[in-house]
Amino acid sequence: MREFILKANKAITSGDVNLKDLPGSCGRLDLVCRCVSSAFFLSHDLRRDTVFYSVHYGNPNPPVALKFVGSELKRVSPDERSIAIFIKKALEKEHLSVWKESTSGIYHAKKEFRDIILERKKEGKQIFYLHKNGVPIEDLINPSNCKKDIVFVLGDHIGIGEEDEKFLDEIGAERVSISPLELHANQCIVIVHNILDKIKCTYFSNSVS
Ligand SMILES: C[S@@+](CC[C@H](N)C(=O)[O-])C[C@H]1O[C@@H](n2cnc3c(N)ncnc32)[C@H](O)[C@@H]1O
């Protein structure tokens, strides 16, 4: 399983989503939608081995966490507007401390970014923090650990902030770099998938699922 956890510092936390203004009044919800698209959509297929979390810290009711499960997603299409419609539906719900399903494969909860990371760590998953100045990914991911459950944490246009970087250091999350250049969050997701796909195709009978 591949998991991505995005900190969306300004993303809206109510169902008051204006589909015509995702970047502005919705707090860069366009960026979240692009990450969802990059996490799951192949040409005429979906990545069923992927889970994507987006933790929203924008107004009016932070935090709100969304979870997208590739093996359960239905009816969502890759364009930002379609994804935003499903996010709006999830944000309209009442959020509890436990995950509740909004539409097929899309869950919502009142959870903090750090709690979601800690939950994954307690499940025994390896946590990597995507960071331009981290260790090159090729030095960390290899045929033996790429088959295991791996979690990648990443920031939005603002990043994750010093406090959360400190938290990740304290829990032993390794910083991993995929390029010497500063990339957009959705580009990072595409590149990570590509690197893992290539390792799996090379070493495991041409299968990426
Ligand atoms: C647009 S960047 C954030 C830029 C922000 N100003 C900052 O200082 O973090 C979005 C996220 O993508 C990830 N990222 C960007 N470039 C990367 C790279 N070369 N290697 C690994 N992760 C990268 C990081 O997690 C970053 O928080």
What is the predicted ipTM?
Answer: 0.98
Confidence of residue 131 (pLDDT cuts 50, 70, 90): very high
Model confidence pLDDT, tens digit, residues 172-204: 999 999 999 999 999 999 999 999 999 887 766
Proportion of the chain above pLDDT 90, given as a percent: 90
pTM: 0.96
Tokens of residue 165, six digits: 């970087």
Q: What is the pLDDT at residue 200?
A: 81
Does the pLDDT at position 116 exceed 90?
yes
pLDDT band at 84 (very low <50, low <70, confident <90, very high): very high
> What are the residues whose beta carbons fall under 8 Å from the beta carbon of 37, sequence distance 6 or more?
78, 79, 80, 83, 186
**What is the spatial order of strands in the sheet that 106-109 belongs to?**
100-103, 106-109, 64-69, 50-56, 2-8, 150-155, 126-136, 174-177
- Res 38: pLDDT: 98
Atom of ligand 1 nearest to the CA of 154: 25
**Backbone torsions φ then ψ of 109, nearest 5 degrees:** -160, 165
Cβ 55 vs Cβ 6: under 8 Å: yes
C-alpha neighbours within 13 Å on the C-beta side of residue 153: 29
Return the best residue to mutate from 28, 57, 138, 154 for the ligand 1 pocket (most ligand atoms within 8 A of CB). 154
Report the separation in Å between the CA atom of 140 and the middle of ligand 1, taken as the mean of its atom positions: 18
Percentage, residues of the chain above pLDDT 70: 96
**Nearest residue to 95 (alpha-carbon basis) of 113, 109, 116:** 109
Residue whose CB lies within 8 A of the most ligand 1 atoms, among 183, 189, 190, for a mutation test: 183
pLDDT score recorded for residue 142? 84
